[in-house]
Structure 1
């Protein structure tokens, strides 16, 4: 089936950037913006995403729906979509556990829809060759059409859960490491040892210092979204007979960041040039655990 119109759920930071790439490369993207925030509407307008109002109209007009949501919304939105009579090619791009993806696929397929499991690795695709979309499932090859429209899509298998499993394990490393780095740097600051620790890390762990210098400043406005992602990773590892405690702890770190002034900024408001030591000082002063 040729793909011409793509429904975006939802045009936040990632969804908006994906839509912009598709629009620039010859496809039409639409979104259901009824009752959405002014920020979401502005993001959609910047990317030339057309507002069709309701989810029902989005499904009616779409050849494929890309679900790019915060993890906790994935199930609820899929349930709403499944109650709309038109069968749809539904691509779940959310950072959720494989067992949850399998459940959503069964829901979509039970009403005649087609389901593809997908995971996004990398930042919003505003710069070419930095973002990959991995796909799995028996119909995953249908998504390869988007390679002709600016997206790096890679099919990795025919089983639902494979793409999501890749996301869970990869994000366990990257975002888990960012959480650990954030907490230990705050601890060092509160001990009055932040300079000494950073001098040592910069000397003996140069690659790690470089990673933390990049990852922590870009994390703070997204911490609220990463809470649910860490919890999904925890559930993934628990299902595999491994400890989930590490990642519930990482979720707690992001929960602390969320409540600070930096965590309340939007990605558009965030000062990407703010030095790491200034970020850690702010977080140290404002992040308080209630446990």
Structure 2
């Protein structure tokens, strides 16, 4: 079996380390890739082709893990080379998954729940072809939500609505605690109700939010675009703050 990656950032690189089997050949292309991406590809145990056309043509599964804003463009550009399953793992809205589904006949909607580099990453899938990816249970936790495109993305979107807003609030509160020279006491106080590992998880969340603020802002814009008829004042405020980081 051949699994090809479009985009080779943290998600694809981590998956290339997780999905290790003598029966699976992992492939990608360095066509028009940045220097940093090529360096990451070279660190992975993966076959590299000169063009995506060549890499995707023989793939049983194609995994798209690019910037959310590029998901539809990438599907339209490279999906035609894919004769197997096209799995999108981008943090995109259900409306965007429908656009991709209209372009491709072999599409599966995927959503990584939590951190991809956690001890046991979870993958939500939806779509009529989702069951063909159940073999990935050998490498990570796979849960099929339904046979309806968009359901996996809806759950991811709902989760992101909560977690990303909470992360921004956490950063603001932590900054206040530092100004008061009470950051350690702040975490100790919250740990009483939130658990002993609250501080470590919070600092990890803060660092992750600040490091990937641009991508997280794109994801929050997807949320606002999808729920455009709803009152989402907290999301709008969190997005404005994210753009300041």
Considering the TM-score relative to the shorter chain, is it more than 0.5? yes
1:99 to 95, 99, 106: 95
Give the unaligned 5+ runs of structure 1.
Answer: 258-291
* Partner residue in 2 for 1:242: 230
RMSD (Å), alpha carbons = 2.2
Distance 1:242 1:143 in 2: 35
Give the unaligned 5+ runs of structure 2.
Answer: none
* Partner residue in 2 for 1:62: 59
Q: Secondary structure at the match of 2:63?
A: strand
Distance 1:7 1:216 in 2: 32
* Partner residue in 2 for 1:153: 142
Pick closer, same or farther for the CA change 1:244–1:107 going to 2, 3 Å.
farther
Distance 2:213 2:72 in 1: 21
1:116 to 98, 104, 108: 108
Post-superposition shift, 1:25? 6.3
* Partner residue in 1 for 2:19: 22
Instruction: Judge conservation of contact 2:59–2:83 (CA < 8 Å) in 1.
Output: no
Q: Secondary structure at the match of 1:23?
A: coil
**TM-score, scaled relative to structure 2:** 0.88
Instruction: Judge conservation of contact 1:98–1:236 (CA < 8 Å) in 2.
Output: yes
Q: Which whole-Å deviations, capped at 9, do the CAs of 1:164-198 have from their partners, x for residues lacking one?
A: 01111112222221112113433565xx4352x76
* Partner residue in 2 for 1:174: 163
Post-superposition shift, 1:200? 4.9
Pick closer, same or farther for the CA change 1:193–1:100 going to 2, 3 Å.
same
Q: How many residues align?
A: 241
Q: Secondary structure at the match of 1:30?
A: strand
Distance 1:91 1:18 in 2: 13
Distance 2:46 2:175 in 1: 40
2:204 to 211, 214, 217: 214
Pick closer, same or farther for the CA change 1:248–1:49 going to 2, 3 Å.
farther
Post-superposition shift, 1:124? 2.4
Range moving further from structure 2, 6-15 or 171-180: 171-180
Q: Secondary structure at the match of 2:17?
A: helix
Q: Secondary structure at the match of 1:65?
A: strand
Pick closer, same or farther for the CA change 1:122–1:25 going to 2, 3 Å.
farther
Distance 1:213 1:46 in 2: 28
